[in-house]
Structure 1
Amino acid sequence: MTFINKYTSQVLVHILFWMLFVFVSLFLFSDFYWKENPFLQYVSLLIAIVYLNNFFLLPFFVKKKLYVLYVLVFAGISFVATQLYCYAFAKCGCTIIKCLSDYLWQSLTPLIFFSFVWILYRFIDKQEEVDAVKKEHAEMELKFLKSQINPHVLFNNLNTIYSYSIEKPNETPELILMLSDNLKHVLYESNEKTISLEKEIHFIDNYMKFQTIRTEGVKRINYNKSIDSYKYQIAPLLLITIIENAFKHSVLNSEINVNIEVKQGVLSLECQNDFDKEKVTTTDLKIGLQNLEKRLALIYKEDYDFNIDKGEVFKVSLKLNLK
């Protein structure tokens, strides 16, 4: 709730209550109030008491956590206001008990109502503060998790370019342009909450080209795409974590399969690689995929499905609802 909306709603609540309170009082006791009882003058005093309570007494006692003392002060104000009404305004000449039984509700109704309104809006404010802190914490955690991805991707690309600059210098400029695209994506575009699916897939394409060039230790790389539309948005640097994990932790002469499909707003990524079962529980492997799952939970809530299968091959599957 924005400040303007909150302020407007409070003003409307106050205006509507006082209009209803005066209307009901005059409707129920119209003859008495209009002819013999200066009720409207008393309402002016009651308004002053109510806002003294709301703006000064209630905030002070709640801040100091003097709840019992506040109840006593509240009861005292209600008693004095009722007696003041009986003897100074209505001049009914009735006993204290009779005065309380007949007129206490007039003092209590607005005091209790506006105290409740104050507590309600204070609760809303506190809840918004908690939500803001949670959101800030989530954003900081996302930035931290994302920052752990960036170095791996870039260093691998630099190593590839270095090797090519020695062995095939004529093809190096193309690789430098690809690296430039990847740098732009990792350093700038990835700072956005979401980016276009087309940019993310283009980043993956470049990465896979680099990996195809770096054939050492890899028997075969199969990279397949089937995308019915690029109109969707996606959180940056999610897919690369799974794909890079396959290359980083595959065994010698491994076959790596990467399949990406986007159909009717659902993205499916399946990545397979041969692995050493004795090393699959290493810390860096677990941290990478655990960080990814944390990011998925923070960003996509219930709109994702993430599975790891450690069978004959190491298979990671991800489904994202991009709609």
Structure 2
Amino acid sequence: MKKKYVILLHLLFWLYYIMQDLTVFDFKQQKISFPILAFDFNKPEYLLMLSFTAIYIFVFYLNYLVFMPKFFDVKKVKRIALSFLALFIIFIGMRYLIEEVLFDILFGFHNYYKGVTVTYYIYDNLAYSSLPIMASSVLWFIVNMLRLQKEQLALLESKRETEINFLKSQINPHFIFNTLNNIYYLIFEKSEKALPAVEQLSGLMRYMTYESQNETIALQREIAYIENFIALETMRISGDAQVFFKKNIENPECRIPPLLLIPFVENGFKHGILNNPEQSFTIELTQNKNHLILQTQNSINNYKKDHQSGVGIENIKKRLQLYFPDKHSLEITRKENMYYIKLDITL
């Protein structure tokens, strides 16, 4: 939801609040007045109105900006109840300290009559304190629901774009023809690598055509795709390919969005030197409990320019933000002629 619409919702609410609680309608004279505009320090009712409004606004935005974003979770009812209880205590406590203690010291008056019990004071203020708490909660729900709806639409659109970009660039005729030519050469040479290469290409095409349509897939399926991709790409490298894929996986069945890791592998193949024993292209994938960490390093080939860069790092950054907001970190570092990537995701 755009910021200007959020501001508009807040303005509409406060306009309603002013009309509802801070205006006086005289039925006899058919006139509307705004007592708060004729503020007079000498009149207790004006100071009390000001203090109540200030406390109302404070608790409203304390809940809206802090408590709801931090503590609201439909799966943790106890935490929600405790946060609401804390807000009730804050509202009632602030009102008592300002109106019953501070005003009595400074101005010689207070809101409630003398002798009122603490129990009655709390009971009487439960309704008053519930107003800003409930109002801010409802407004936060509306804004958050619209924001989540917008993010879902953006996520679907991003997924569609990603699939299209991969189908156009990753599995393009150029890649397929090169791979088929390599397989043809292997068959001509009667190499034992020919049949595995056909199987790898078949697995890669099957993954792109069918499995990538799912919202999430098992991590082991993404790993299998990466392994097939590496195997087919290394066929094109002259000399001994210095490409190493290291895996340390605790739960291969954990779920991730499809095509999430391959762009970082693709990036190394497109822009790296892949046959240098001293500076190998290394891919390390670690999954432990709820953490997934991908690290890559490759030397940079300054003479190798490939304008078809797949979905690109910027597109992946957007996908990560949509799938794992505040639950991932991506570090991209370039030191001299080496390129380092570290992706850490909390699943």
Normalising TM by the smaller chain, what interval?
0.5 to 0.7
TM-score by length of 1: 0.56
Name the counterpart of 1:168.
187
Decide whether aligned partners of structure 1 residues 297 and 129 sit closer, same or farther in structure 2, where only a CA change above 3 A counts. closer
In 2: Cα distance, 1:286 partner to 1:187 partner: 16
Question: In structure 2, what is the Cα distance between the partners aligned to 1:127 and 1:267?
Answer: 28
How many angstroms apart in 1 are the aligned matches of 2:197 and 2:331? 33
Q: Which amino acid aligns with 1:231?
A: E
Which whole-Å deviations, capped at 9, do the CAs of 1:277-308 have from their partners, x for residues lacking one?
Answer: 5878x876597111111111111112212111
Instruction: Determine if contact 2:241/2:275 at 8 Å carries over to the other structure.
Output: yes
Correspondences of 1:1-323 after superposition (within 5 Å): 128-129=145-146, 131-155=148-172, 156-169=175-188, 170=190, 171-216=193-238, 219-251=241-273, 253-254=275-276, 255-276=280-301, 288-311=312-335, 312-322=337-347
Shift of 1:126: 7.3
Cα distance in 2 for residues equivalent to 1:139 and 1:185: 19
Q: Which 4+ residue blocks in structure 1 deviate beyond 4 angstroms?
A: 120-127, 277-280, 282-287
Stretches of structure 1 that go unaligned for 5 or more consecutive residues are 1-61, 81-116
Q: Which residue of 2 aligns with 1:50?
A: none
Deviations along 1:186-216, whole A, 9 cap, x unmatched?
1221122211111111111211221232223
Q: Distance in 2 between matches of 1:202 and 1:279?
A: 27
What's the secondary structure of 1:210's corresponding residue? Answer: helix
Separation (CA, whole Å) in 2 of partners of 1:289 and 1:313: 17
Contact 2:285 2:295 in 1 (8 A): yes
* Pairs aligned (count): 225
Matched AA of 2:312: G
| 8 Å CA contact retained: 1:161, 1:172 | no
Q: Which whole-Å CA distance do the structure 2 matches of 1:194 and 1:162 have between them?
A: 33
Structure 1 residues 127-164: Cα deviation after superposition (integer angstroms, max 9, x where no partner)? 64554234212321232134323343324355223222
Closer, same or farther: CA 267–137 of 1 in aligned 2, 3 Å: closer
Mark the runs of 5 or more structure 2 residues left unpaired by the alignment.
1-11, 29-133
For 2:182, the aligned partner's letter is: S
What amino acid maps onto 1:153 in structure 2?
Q
Once residues 266 and 239 of structure 1 are traced to their aligned partners in structure 2, the CA distance between those partners, rounded to angstroms, is 14
Equivalent AA in structure 1 for residue 282 of structure 2 = N
Structure 1: distance between partners of 2:246 and 2:275:
20
> Does the Cα contact within 8 Å between 1:197 and 1:231 map onto a contact in 2?
yes
Name the residue aligned to 2:105. none
* Secondary structure of 2:237's aligned partner: coil
CA gap of 1:135–1:249, structure 2 versus 1, over 3 A, is same
SS of 1:168's equivalent? helix
Classify the secondary structure of the residue corresponding to 2:233: helix
CA separation of 1:176 and 1:268: change in aligned 2, threshold 3 A? same
The question of whether the paired residues in 1 share the 8 Å contact of 2:299 and 2:338 is answered with: yes
Distance 1:261 1:160 in 2: 29
RMSD of equivalent CA atoms: 4.0
Structure 1 distance, partners of 2:313, 2:218, is 23
Q: Distance in 2 between matches of 1:278 and 1:188?
A: 36
Letter in 2 for 1:299: Y
Letter in 1 for 2:315: N
Segment of structure 1 superposing worse, 186-195 or 252-261? 252-261
Distance 2:297 2:149 in 1: 40
8 Å Cα contact 2:329/2:344 also seen in 1: yes
Q: Counterpart in 1 of 2:57?
A: none
Q: Is the 8 A contact 1:219 1:253 kept in 2?
A: yes
State the Cα distance separating 1:263 from its structure 2 match. 2.2
User: Residue 148 of structure 1 aligns to a residue in which SS?
Assistant: helix
Q: Distance in 2 between matches of 1:157 and 1:265?
A: 36
CA distance in 2, matches of 1:321, 1:222: 25
Q: Report the residue type matching 2:159 in the other structure.
A: L
Instruction: Tell me if structure 2 keeps the 8 A contact 1:217–1:252.
Output: no
